[in-house]
Amino acid sequence: MINNLHLKEQLDIIGKDIIADIIKELLAADKKVTGSLINSLRYEVLETVDAVLLNIYSNEYFDVVDKGRKAGAKPPPVKAIIPWVEAKGIKFKGSSVESTAFVIARSIGIKGIKPLNIKQKIIQDIINNKTQLIQQGYTKDILEDINNIIKYNK
């Protein structure tokens, strides 16, 4: 079995870069109101019997922000909008926070939300700029294994 130390090191670097890139995209799109989405982002490099994986984790809300919401779609749950309304300090005159969140949720259902397509940008960046890092790490691991086999068989 190949020792994947260098590959895991490269995936660790890529994982850090991906989280930083996602945060940069979210901040540029002004998607940091409560901070819960950004604070939920993390990555993990896992080794299984037959693969080394880079998993990126976030709360479920990331998919909504990334994919957007089509106009005319079902409105988001009011409960999900309340923390955002509170963090923004928005309250329509003469309305409660819940009423304000209801109106905003209804508006989102009618107008939709523009997608950010962060996942696609990240995947493109990996394809264009990071595959060489993965290849370098994997190549180092294979060469070290070959050298160890040669030493062992002498």
- Indicate the domain borders of the chain: 1-68+115-147, 69-113
Nearest of 44, 47, 63 to residue 116 by alpha carbon: 63
Say if residue 18's pLDDT is above 70.
yes
Q: Looking at residue 1, what is its pLDDT?
A: 67
Sign of CA dihedral 63, 16, 83, 25: negative
Span 31-78, pLDDT tens digits = 998 899 999 999 999 999 888 999 999 998 899 999 999 999 999 999
